[in-house]
Amino acid sequence: MRASDLVEPYPTVGIDAAAMDAARLLAEQRLVGVIVLDHDGHPFAVLPGSQLLGGIVPGYVRADPTLARVVDERHADLMCAKLADQTVRDVLPADHRPLAVVDPDATTMEIAALMAASHTPLVAVVDDGEYQGAITTSGLLRRLLAVT
């Protein structure tokens, strides 16, 4: 089985898109992360939902999670307002890893090894510089488990 057999359409956002739009996309489509495209439309990074949450949780709560209990629900509901003036670029981790990319001929073992080595649930499939879609860990496992 090759990447071309496993690739599925997967949502993307531009690097300068509104962070709030990325958050809505994650929420509405129940995604673990979204692929970020650069200005030329090439896959650049994965914005994990956890990183987006990290951008809205106050620093003092991230430093001491026990303080989360003292934030009332009214204030917790307003946390996403922090995203209103930010772009995807603003919420990407400064030390983000390059996006894991394979070509359509990559084997399942190559894809699994890349996912494991890069600690990512998403691998972009790119053919001649064009984004084709992605392979998710769950999609890969579904196909592998169906074989056994």
- Alpha carbon distance 94, 143 (integer Å): 34
Amino acid at 12: T
Whether the per-residue pLDDT at 77 is higher than 70: the answer is no
Question: Could you tell me the two tokens for 101?
Answer: 């990319």
What is the span of the domain harbouring residue 77? 3-147
pTM across the whole model: 0.82
Q: What is the pLDDT of residues 30-43, one digit of tens each?
A: 998 999 999 998 89
- Alpha carbon distance 55, 142 (integer Å): 32
Whether the per-residue pLDDT at 97 is higher than 90: the answer is no
Amino acid at 31: L
- Alpha carbon distance 35, 89 (integer Å): 12
More confident: 85 or 28: 28
Question: Could you tell me the two tokens for 111?
Answer: 């894809």
3-state SS assignment for residue 127: strand
Q: What is the pLDDT of residues 57-72, one digit of tens each?
A: 777 777 888 877 777 7
**Domain holding 78: CATH number?**
3.10.580.10
The closest alpha carbon to 83, from 35, 122, 51, 108, belongs to: 51
Number of domains the chain contains: 1
Instruction: Please say whether the dihedral angle defined by the alpha carbons of residues 105, 101, 118 and 3, taken in this order, is positive or negative.
Output: negative
